[in-house]
Each structure stands twice: as structure tokens, then as C-alpha cells.
């Protein structure tokens, strides 16, 4: 279960993240949803890869 917002990095239960969800349609996540760390994100013309040093890699 995710604890943090991938867009703003704040706790999901801290406030409403509807706007963040809209942003995430056109942006890759910048924060790890498990630990709040800023991820290393590489965007390519056809996708993206986001890497958390602790929790591994997400792709989209």
C-alpha cells in the first residue's frame, strides 16, 4: 500500500492529492511512494524509468 504521493512526495493521508493525480497523467513520478525519497527519473521519447535507491525501479 502506497504511503506517499509520487508527484509531491507528501503523505497520501495528509491532504487531498487529486491535483497531483492529474499531474501524474503527464509527468513521471518524482518521489517513491513507499519511502518519499526523490527518485532518479529518465524520460525517453517513448517512456520513462524512475529509480528509488531503496525500492527499485518503476517504468511507464
Partner 1 sequence: MTDILQRATTKVLDNGEGLSFDELVEVLQLPDEQIPALLELAHAVRMKHCGPEVEVEGIISLKTGGCPEDCHFCSQSGQFSSPVRSVWLDIPQLVKAAEETAATGATEFCIVAAVRGPDERLMSQVRDGIKAIQEAVDINVACSLGMLTQEQVDDLASMGVHRYNHNLEAARSYFTNVVTTHTWEERWETCEMVREAGMELCCGGLVGMGESLEQRAELAAQLAELAPHEVPLNFLNPRPGTPFGDLPIMDSQDALRTIAAFRLAMPRTILRYAGGRELTLGDLGTRDGLLGGINAVIVGNYLTTLGRAADADIELLADLKMPIKELAKTL
Closest CA to 37 of 12, 4, 13: 4
Q: How far is the CB of 40 from partner 1 (least distance, A)?
A: 5
| Residue with smaller CB distance to partner 1, 13 or 45 | 45
Q: Least CB distance from residue 28 to partner 1, whole Å?
A: 7
Question: Contacting partner 1 (CB under 8 A), which of 27, 34, 36, 58?
Answer: 27
Tell me which residues touch partner 1 (CB under 8 A).
8-9, 25-28, 30-31, 38-48
Amino acid at each position: 500500500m502506497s504511503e506517499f504521493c509520487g508527484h509531491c512526495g507528501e503523505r497520501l493521508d495528509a491532504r487531498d492529492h487529486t491535483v497531483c493525480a492529474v499531474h501524474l497523467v503527464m509527468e513521471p513520478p518524482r518521489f517513491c511512494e513507499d519511502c518519499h525519497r526523490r527518485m532518479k527519473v529518465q524520460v525517453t521519447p517513448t517512456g520513462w524509468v524512475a529509480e528509488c535507491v531503496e525500492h527499485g525501479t518503476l517504468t511507464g
